[in-house]
Amino acid sequence: MVAGRRRVVITGMGCITPLGVRVEQLWKNLIAGASGVGLTTVFDASEFPTKISAEVRGWSIADEGQDEQAWRFCGRHTRFAAGAALQAMADAGLPKGLPSDPTRLGIYLGSGEGQQDFESFTDMMMAAIEGETLDVAKFTRLGLETLHPLSEVEQEPNMPAGHLAGLFDAQGPNLNCLTACAASSQAIGEAAEIVRRGEADVMLSGGTHSMIHPFGVTGFNLLTALSTRNDEPTRASRPFDNDRDGFVLGEGAAMVVLEDLEHALKRGAKIHGELLGYGSTADAYRITDTHPEGRGAASCIRMALADAGLGLHDIHYINAHGTSTSVNDRVETLAIKNVFGEHAYKIPVSSTKSMMGHLIAAAGATELIVCLLAIRDGLLPPTINYETPDPDCDLDYVANKVRAARCDHALSNSFGFGGQNISLIVGRYRG
């Protein structure tokens, strides 16, 4: 920890994921090496090259005590965000926000664009087509007659943050960042900075996303980024394995409550851990490719270590970005070795995306919660489906089985399209 600045602790956690819709359920499945990947059911993916995904199944906003009708116009990602936030705030002992001064409670999310209503648009398009010609005027008229006014508004990336502010009367800073796969980690890092600066006492932060829809899958298939191991869904996500062929698209939300330590102690809050370090850099290279030498990732990790005031030997576990794509896994491995040198071979590294797929804007927040649980229980979740070593990926990836190990500090990496790199370090709380 760095002397002379406000300390930021985590007092609440919540999640809605393909492997569990409660934090403890997620953790139980992760340490068991379970997989949340299966055939896509959210839409008909039978004609797509990728027919598999990691969906949130069997959950409704009503499970969180909400009126489902009141959320009927909200996107899937907004409902996920509300569910995870309600859990996190209840866990923090703040189910109704900060009644003493709501301007001291803020929201900072990493949230992607909302899911379009493809069925309605497809029906309107077909109704407006005569032969091979689209009647644009008819299509427009059908849209005005058919779509609800909130349909467009609810697609905006900042809508989940707006809804959460209303849920908890959070009248402080209300922000959203959309930096692809790094979004929720960046949101948490920036939210912690707001608390450190004294601009809020409590920040609800994390991420939410669902890209399991025709447009999302089409885009990633065109980029050849998704696994096409359709006949073996549970074996499709295989980070660092030589036979990996792309990532598995997931969905969900994860939220944490970040709080000024003195504020938390004054109200007797339970403390899950401390947010110690935050690093943020850009590759400044290519939009869809990481820098081949991992320069942005390496400098990001170094920045987080410096921010935390920790040395190379202080990191006991790394939750890798580990997407199961050829380039990303190799470059992340290289970046870790560039930072930690020979000591890199002694640090356990795992990718929980092997079990729950890639939650895109929600991935980093989910993985930060995993780090906190690893510290709490002294258990390191595995990288499943690690069967054939890749010579370029030669670290200790906690292959296939959970491992017991003392963990006081954990590093979580998130790297996004566009070249965004975020590293977060959490540690065991020490008074």
DSSP labels, 261-289: HHHHHHTT----EEEEEEEEEE--S-SSS
Backbone angles phi and psi of 305, in degrees to 5: -60, -45
Q: Is the pLDDT of residue 331 over 80?
A: yes
Nearest CA-CA partner of 220 in 282, 288, 156? 288
What pLDDT sits at residue 127? 73
Residue-by-residue DSSP string for 132-147: TEE-HHHHHHHHHHHS
CB 304 within 8 A of CB 424: yes
In whole angstroms, what is the distance from residue 252 CA to residue 316 CA? 27
pLDDT band at 286 (very low <50, low <70, confident <90, very high): confident
How far does the chain reach from its first CA to its final CA, in angstroms? 11
What pLDDT sits at residue 128? 72
pLDDT band at 151 (very low <50, low <70, confident <90, very high): low
Q: Which residues contact 225 (CB under 8 A, 6 or more apart)?
A: 246, 247, 325
In whole angstroms, what is the distance from residue 315 CA to residue 294 CA? 19
What pLDDT sits at residue 130? 75
CB 311 within 8 A of CB 427: no
Is residue 8 classed as helix, strand or coil in its secondary structure?
strand
Instruction: Name the strand (E) or helix (H) holding 27.
Output: helix 23-31
Rounded mean pLDDT of 314-334? 97
CB 403 within 8 A of CB 221: no
- The per-type count for the chain, helices as H runs and strands as E runs, is 13, 16
Nearest CA-CA partner of 106 in 8, 6, 176, 204? 204
* pTM over the 0.95 mark: no
CB 203 within 8 A of CB 258: yes
Per mean pLDDT, which range of 45-49, 71-75, 170-174 is the poorest? 71-75
pLDDT band at 136 (very low <50, low <70, confident <90, very high): confident
Q: Catalytic residue numbers?
A: 181, 321, 358
Task: For residue 279, give both structure tokens.
Answer: 């690093």
What pLDDT sits at residue 74? 87
In whole angstroms, what is the distance from residue 181 CA to residue 97 CA? 28
pLDDT band at 5 (very low <50, low <70, confident <90, very high): confident
Q: What percent of the chain has pLDDT over 70?
A: 92
In whole angstroms, what is the distance from residue 22 CA to residue 38 CA? 20
Backbone angles phi and psi of 164, in degrees to 5: -65, -35
Rounded mean pLDDT of 400-407? 98
Average pLDDT along the chain: 93
- Chain-centroid distance of CA 333 in Å reads 20
Q: Is the pLDDT of residue 133 over 90?
A: no
Per mean pLDDT, which range of 3-12, 55-64, 147-156, 272-281 is the poorest? 147-156
Q: Is the pLDDT of residue 80 over 80?
A: yes
Backbone angles phi and psi of 397, in degrees to 5: -95, 20
Question: Counting Cβ atoms within 10 Å, is residue 144 exposed (0-12), middle (13-18) or buried (19+)?
Answer: exposed
Task: For residue 140, give both structure tokens.
Answer: 């427009």
What pLDDT sits at residue 119? 55
Domains of the chain in sequence order: 8-116+155-427 (3.40.47.10), 118-150 (no CATH)
What pLDDT sits at residue 266? 97
Query: pLDDT, tens digit, for every residue of 358-374?
Result: 999 999 999 999 999 99
pLDDT band at 142 (very low <50, low <70, confident <90, very high): low
What pLDDT sits at residue 37? 98
Task: For residue 157, give both structure tokens.
Answer: 């990336």
